[in-house]
């Protein structure tokens, strides 16, 4: 019997889910100047407005993971998109700095579950042989959302106003919610999924490991697992590099390499467009090397460790003078810093033994990435101010990548979500 691939429609919707999330994030960056002019905001006040989204995003990450485990990825994805889209539209209606700050906090609360919900949906909908490729292709929506969303939002601001840009982008999110709710549930319950494909997904998503009878080990059980900490650390070291170059590369090119603003924008775009392609190709290759035994053994950690070693080539940037050489090294570092998080998301799915803990496990992974990522722009600023050079910042990121490679190789192994010795307690389930 021919096996269909209708599950790819779910992956397409998740791709759009990621793209919408990142368009809504970049909207504030593009609209920052007219907002500051209208409300008379200083650069410091504007900086707080930019960062307020991330405060709520990080604080709500673990609670969001618990809600995913309770209500399911398909329900929480639609609820999260509805909350952040409402907050996005409210930003356009804000009449003061305080109300706009509250709206941005609402955006962070709404978007907190979006990455764990994406990873969890892929785990539920894909055989183990394609989950790395699926996550990489879906996460490309994030980078393309940034790359394409910025000019689209700029056009909206010019054509209508900055307020309407938030209203329109928020409305797009509600349109996505309507399509998702009407089309997607779990593979077990989605009616348009052919029976042969449904059986394939259910049979192969756990790589032959029978799910345990218990209802999950909770956050307490997860943090007792060394593999979870290896994933947390390696994800953080990868995302640190992404945030470093995303935040500071244009400034470096303008100040240290004396490029114009247009030139710096062009050279900044190159690594991130290349990264979108490399992410998919590298994770596709990783999937091709996986069999059921390799999945159960956590062999995908070797790909994560390799990505971190390649990310560490940023250490060589201070030794290179030609601009082409610098961009080549940045492209390698950024590309594999994007490959690694997708591979880590697939690795969590490989090692997880208790599906009721999926949301929490993915939330813990994403928390690691964003905790380190939040520090990258700040630490870089201090290093540049202290040394009057970007060299120390590149060296610090490269050294951190080497530490992450050790964590991925040495810790990211062994099952996640097995019953700890002594059995489960009521306190375990409460976490």
CA–CA gap between residue 420 and residue 353 (Å, rounded): 12
pLDDT at 4: 87
Three-state DSSP at 339 gives helix
Q: Distance between terminal CA atoms of the chain?
A: 44
Question: Residue 215: what pLDDT?
Answer: 67
Phi, psi of 217 (to 5 degrees): -100, -10
CB 269 within 8 A of CB 143: no
pLDDT value at residue 214: 59
Beta-strand ranges (E) seen in 66-181 are none
The rounded distance, in Å, linking the Cα atoms of 197 and 189 is: 13
Q: What is the DSSP letter of 317?
A: G
Same fold? 7-204, 218-423+425-430: yes
Between CA 193 and CA 95 the distance in angstroms is 47
Nearest Cα neighbor of 352 from 67, 360, 126 is 360
Q: How far apart are CA 239 and CA 267, in angstroms?
A: 20
The CA distance from 140 to 17, in Å, is: 11
What's the topology of domain 218-423+425-430? Growth Hormone; Chain: A; (1.20.1250)
Show pLDDT as tens, one digit a residue, over the chain (431 residues). 577 889 999 999 999 999 999 888 888 877 877 888 899 887 677 767 877 887 888 889 989 988 998 899 999 999 999 999 999 999 999 999 999 999 999 999 999 998 899 989 998 999 888 888 999 899 888 877 777 777 788 888 888 999 999 999 999 999 999 999 999 999 999 999 999 999 999 888 877 676 666 567 888 888 899 999 999 999 999 999 988 887 778 778 878 888 876 677 678 778 888 888 899 999 999 999 888 888 888 999 999 999 999 999 999 999 999 999 999 999 999 999 999 999 999 999 899 988 888 899 999 999 998 888 878 878 888 888 888 888 999 999 999 999 999 999 999 988 888 765 555 444 444 45
Residue pair 381/69 in contact (Cβ under 8 Å)? The answer is no
Cα distance between residue 21 and residue 25, in whole Å: 6
The answer as to CATH 1.20.1250.20 being correct for domain 7-204 is yes
Q: Are 245 and 378 in contact (CB under 8 A)?
A: no
Nearest to 290 by CA among 121, 123, 130, 125: 130
Buried b / exposed e over 122-143, threshold 16 CB at 10 Å, is bbbbbbbbbbbbbbbbbbbbbb
Three-state secondary-structure class, residue 352: strand
Phi then psi for residue 418, to 5 deg, are -80, 155
Q: In this predicted structure, what is the pLDDT of residue 376?
A: 83
Rounded to a whole number of angstroms, the CA Rg of the chain reads 21
Nearest to 301 by CA among 406, 196, 221: 406
CB count, 10 Å around CB of 75? Answer: 17
State the pLDDT at residue 204. Answer: 85
Question: Cβ atoms within 10 A of the Cβ of 170, count?
Answer: 22
Residue 397 burial by Cβ neighbours in a 10 Å radius (0-12, 13-18, 19+): buried
pTM: 0.80
Give Cα 429 distance to the centre of its chain.
27
- The CA-CA-CA angle for residues 89, 94, 98, to 5°, reads 125
Parse the chain into domains and list their residue ranges: 7-204, 218-423+425-430
* Residue 225 backbone phi and psi in degrees, to 5: -95, 120
pLDDT at site 428: 44
* Token representation of residue 59: 């604080």
């Amino acid at each position: 019997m021919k096996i269909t691939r209708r599950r790819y429609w779910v992956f397409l919707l998740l791709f759009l889910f990621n793209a919408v999330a990142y368009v809504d994030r970049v909207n504030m960056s593009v609209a920052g100047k007219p907002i500051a002019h209208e409300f008379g905001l200083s650069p410091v006040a504007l900086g707080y407005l930019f960062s307020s989204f991330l405060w709520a995003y990080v604080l709500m990450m673990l609670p969001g993971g618990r809600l995913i485990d309770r209500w399911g990825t398909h329900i929480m994805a639609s609820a999260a998109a509805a909350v952040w889209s409402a907050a996005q539209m409210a930003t356009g209606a804000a009449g003061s700095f305080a109300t706009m700050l509250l709206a941005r906090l609402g955006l962070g609360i709404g978007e907190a579950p979006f990455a764990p919900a994406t990873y969890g949906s892929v785990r539920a909908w894909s055989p183990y042989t394609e989950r790395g490729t699926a996550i990489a292709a879906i996460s490309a929506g994030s980078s393309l959302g940034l790359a394409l969303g910025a000019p689209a939002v700029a056009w909206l601001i010019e054509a209508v106003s900055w307020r309407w840009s938030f209203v329109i982008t928020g409305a797009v999110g509600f349109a996505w919610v309507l399509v998702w709710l009407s089309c997607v549930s779990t593979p077990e319950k989605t009616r348009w999924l052919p029976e042969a494909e449904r059986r394939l997904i259910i049979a192969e998503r756990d790589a032959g490991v029978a799910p345990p009878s218990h209802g999950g080990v909770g956050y307490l059980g997860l943090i007792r697992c060394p593999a979870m900490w290896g994933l947390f650390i390696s994800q953080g070291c990868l995302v640190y590099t992404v945030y470093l170059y995303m935040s500071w590369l244009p400034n470096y090119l303008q100040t240290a390499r004396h490029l114009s603003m247009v030139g710096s924008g062009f050279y900044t775009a190159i690594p991130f467009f290349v990264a979108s392609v490399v992410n998919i190709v590298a994770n596709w290759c990783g999937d091709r090397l996986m069999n059921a035994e390799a999945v159960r053994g956590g062999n995908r950690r070797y790909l994560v460790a390799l990505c971190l070693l390649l990310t560490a080539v940023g250490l060589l940037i201070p030794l290179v003078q030609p601009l082409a050489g610098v961009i080549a090294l940045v492209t390698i570092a950024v590309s594999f810093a994007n490959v690694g998080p997708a591979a880590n998301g697939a690795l969590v799915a490989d090692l997880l033994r208790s599906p009721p803990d999926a949301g929490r496990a993915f939330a813990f992974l994403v928390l690691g990435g964003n905790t380190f990522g939040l520090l990258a722009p700040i630490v870089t600023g201090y290093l540049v101010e202290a040394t009057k050079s970007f060299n120390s910042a590149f060296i610090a990121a490269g050294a951190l990548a080497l530490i992450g490679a050790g964590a991925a190789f040495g810790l990211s192994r062994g099952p996640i979500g097995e019953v700890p010795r002594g059995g489960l307690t009521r306190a375990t389930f409460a976490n």
